Structure 1
Amino acid sequence: MGSVGQKLNVLGTALQKCSRPGGPTTGFYRDGCCTTGEGDYGRHVVCSRMTQAFLEFTRSRGNDLSSPAPQYGFPGLRPGDFWCLCASRWQEAFESGAAPQVVLESTHEAALRYCKLEDLQENAFVEDTIEL
């Protein structure tokens, strides 16, 4: 994959931040990026824009991302928020027709171990009015 130390996205270019100003700080390391490492067993690498359909889908699978969990510093997500999802959960949602849009520039290349680039591209979020 990428050279040592360089974080690449699924397009093979430099990984961009997923978090947005005013939104929750995402990432396994809560650094705003969908980076991954040894302890990230869920591979939180797919930068997605939350939808009500996905939030309901993931809640039905036992992962409630809508409810705040202050003990973990988690604010709870709303439609429109950007969040680094587990690649396998995004793929499961895709296969069920509930996948949220993906910010390709902010999705870590490790997602390609679980998701097809074509599937991610089919659900690409086009950034036209959002400033990073």
Structure 2
Amino acid sequence: MRRIFNTRLNFICVVLTIFNLHHVWSSENIYGETLEQCSHSGMALTGYTRDGYCTDINGDTGSHHICIDLSSTTGGNFCSVTGQSDWCSSSMTCHDGGGLCPVQDWCVCQWAFASYLQYAGGCDKIQDLVCEAINMQAALAYKSMAGITKYDNALRCIESRCGVSLSKTGTSALLAKAMNNKAGIVYASSLLIAASAVAFFTWNRTQQMQGKREHLVK
């Protein structure tokens, strides 16, 4: 009986690990590295799905991929400049849960960010960026709009603020860079999937043997 329980437990752990890895490694930041959290403890929980990350999610038409420190005193207030109600100075559900926390590091719409730059008067007139938490998809989107001043400026601003070169890199190269960082996790995930299959087979076989023994006892 203990063997059956342990096999089930191992199988569940493997499956949960696969789903967790998929979640953590499903996006890259503008450095082509693992996307870091935008919001943290003591701040309001951000992200389109309120998971703390500026992840690329189907259905997120606003593409909330840019992480900005809305509490920074440099530059114009994001909400005011873009003509929104001042939710930037509000409090929402805490990153760690349990109460309300001030909105600080926040995932904003990449299209609104481009407008923010335009209306604020340039890259030196905006609030601080949290570079490690900016999704690579923002750079890819701006690259796809190359030739449109508004989006060219947005891309150059990210480069300037974050010390990264994106403008001179082709879209296909950016995609390749992002995918290369997934190579290790794909390999690891493959091993985990294989391990889960073995665990399930072992558990299923154990169940069958247990059933046969119970039948013989009866």
TM above 0.5: yes
Runs of 4+ aligned structure 1 residues displaced above 4 Å come to 67-70, 73-78
Q: Does residue 1:16 correspond to 2:36, yes or no?
A: yes
The answer for the alignment partner of 1:84 in structure 2 is 107
The one-letter code matched in structure 2 to 1:106 is A
The answer for the alignment partner of 1:122 in structure 2 is 160
Deviation at 1:104, TM superposition (A): 1.4
The one-letter code matched in structure 2 to 1:46 is I
What is the aligned counterpart of 1:101 among 128, 131, 140? Answer: 128
Query: Quick one: percent identity of the two aligned structures?
Result: 27
Count of aligned residue pairs for this structure pair: 116
Please identify the structure whose Cα radius of gyration is greater. Answer: 2
Q: Which runs of 5+ in 1 are unaligned?
A: 125-132
The answer for the alignment partner of 1:111 in structure 2 is 138
Output the CA distance in 2 between the equivalents of 1:24 and 1:86.
17
Output the CA distance in 2 between the equivalents of 1:102 and 1:69.
20
Which structure is higher in RCO with an 8 Å CA cutoff and minimum separation 6? 1
Output the CA distance in 2 between the equivalents of 1:86 and 1:48.
10
What is the aligned counterpart of 1:65 among 47, 66, 87? Answer: 87
For the structure 1 residues 30 and 24, does the alpha-carbon distance in structure 2 shift closer, same or farther, using more than 3 Å as the test? same
Output the CA distance in 1 between the equivalents of 2:90 and 2:134.
24
The one-letter code matched in structure 1 to 2:132 is E
> For the Cα contact (< 8 Å) 2:62–2:109, is it kept in 1?
yes
Q: Does residue 1:47 correspond to 2:71, yes or no?
A: no
Q: Say what the alpha-carbon RMSD is for the aligned residues.
A: 2.8
Q: TM-score by structure 1 length?
A: 0.71
> For the Cα contact (< 8 Å) 1:17–1:32, is it kept in 2?
yes
> For the Cα contact (< 8 Å) 1:67–1:76, is it kept in 2?
no
